[in-house]
Amino acid sequence: MEKVLVTGGAGFIGSHLCDLLIAKGFFVYCLDNLLTGKRGNIKSLESNPNFKFMNVDLIKNRIDIPEVNYIFHLASPASPADFKNLSEEIALVNSLGTLNLLKLAVDKKAKFLMASTSEVYGDPEEHPQKESYRGNVNSFGPRSCYDESKRFAETLVYIYRKKFNLDARLIRIFNTYGPRMRKNDGRVVSNFINQAILERPLTVYGNGEQTRSFCFVSDMVTGIFKAMFSKGTEGEIFNLGNPEEYKMIDLANKIKKMTESNSKITYSDLPEDDPSRRCPDILKAKEILNWEPKVKMDEGLQKTIEYYRSI
C-alpha cells in the first residue's frame, strides 16, 4: 500500500485531502501541531487502520516516518486575521518547516507537493493572474510573513529539484471555503455567514469593491490530488481556484439573502496591503490536470451555511 504524508492534515483543506486520500486507498500519515487545526476535523478517520495522526511541530521536531511515497505540504496558518499574532510561526513553518520536509522527501525518495498561495502575487497588477506573473508583493508589511515565506518556500522547492533531482510541484491555492473552516477564522466567508446567522452586522472592509474568487473545498482537494498524480506535473506550478470573481459587497448581500438574515452591513477601514482584485487563470490546470471547479457558488455556500448552523 502506498503511503502519503499530509502536513496540516487536521486543518481545513488538509482534513478534506486526508478524506480523499483514504477513499482512494492510501495509507495516510496526518501531521499537525493543532495550531489552527483540530482533532475534530479528522474524527471520522482516527479509527481507520490506514490513518495515523502525528502531533508534530514541523518547525521544531524531526519527522519520524519509516516510509513515505508522497508528501503534501499544507501546514501553515492561512487567515489574514492570524498574520498579526502568528507571524513568526507562519514565517518559520513555510521556511524551516518546508526545508525539513524537503530533506525528508529526498531521504525517502518521495514525491513532493508544496501548497503555495495566490498571495505570492501580492496586490496583482496583472488580471487574471497566470502562473508566469511575478507578483507585486510588499516584503515589509503586515502580510509579508505569509507572502514572502511562501515565496521562499517556492524557492526552496526549486533548489531541491535542481540539487537533488527531487520530484516536486507547486500549487498556488486561491481563496477556498467550505465546511471545517474555523468559525472564528476571520476570513470573509466564515465571517459573513456567521454574522448573518447570528443577525449581527456583516463587516465589509473598505468600500467592498475589492474582488476575490472562491473555490469550494471539494473541488480544491480534487485539484490538489490531480496535481500530485497526473502526468506532466513534475517541476510545474498550477493555479488552483475558481475563476468566478465577486465583489465583497455582492458576497455580503448574497449571503444575507441566502440566510434570510436581517443583519445590517457596516463598513470599516480596508486592512493595509489588502489586494484589490484577485482571480486565477486556470488554463494550465485545465489542460494538464484536466481539472476545473464544478461546484457553483450557491451550492457551496449553502453547504457551508448548513455546516455553521450545525455546529
Partner in contact with 173, chosen from ligand UDP, ligand NAD, none, beta carbon below 5 to 8 Å by kind: ligand NAD
Partner in contact with 248, chosen from ligand UDP, ligand NAD, none, beta carbon below 5 to 8 Å by kind: ligand UDP
Could you tell me the three cell numbers for 187?
Answer: 476570513
For 221, what's the count of Cα atoms within 13 Å in the CB-facing half-sphere? 21
How many residues of this chain interact with ligand NAD, rule: CB under 6 A? 29
Site string for ligand UDP, 223-262 (x = CB under 6 A): -------------------------x--------------
Considering only 80, 128, 293, 300, the residue that binds ligand UDP (CB under 6 A) is 80
- Nearer to ligand NAD by C-beta: 12 or 70? 12
Asked whether the beta carbons of 76 and 8 are under 8 A apart, the reply is yes
Could you tell me the three cell numbers for 67?
Answer: 516510509
CB within 8 Å of 231: residues ≥ 6 apart: none
Cβ neighbours around 189 below 10 Å, total: 22
For 149, what's the count of Cα atoms within 13 Å in the CB-facing half-sphere? 25
Binding flag, residue 148, ligand NAD (CB under 6 A): no
CB of 188 to ligand UDP, least distance (A): 4
Considering only 3, 5, 22, 32, the residue that binds ligand NAD (CB under 6 A) is 32
Partner in contact with 122, chosen from ligand NAD, ligand UDP, none, beta carbon below 5 to 8 Å by kind: none
CB of 306 to ligand UDP, least distance (A): 20
Binding flag, residue 267, ligand UDP (CB under 6 A): no
DSSP-derived letter for residue 93 is: I
Residue type, 270: L
Pairing type for strands 265-268 and 211-213 reads unpaired
The full 3-state SS of 190-239, as one line of letters, equals HHHHHHHHCCCCEEEECCCCCEEECEEHHHHHHHHHHHHHCCCCCCCEEE
Could you tell me the three cell numbers for 142?
Answer: 503586515
Binding flag, residue 156, ligand NAD (CB under 6 A): no
CB of 304 to ligand UDP, least distance (A): 13
Catalytic, 146? Answer yes
- Collapsing DSSP to helix, strand or coil, 107 comes out as helix
Sites of contact with ligand NAD (CB under 6 A):
7-8, 10-14, 32-37, 57-59, 74-78, 89, 93, 97, 115, 117, 173, 175-176
Residue positions annotated with a catalytic role: 146
Sites of contact with ligand UDP (CB under 6 A):
80, 175, 187-188, 191, 203-205, 210, 212, 248, 270-271, 274
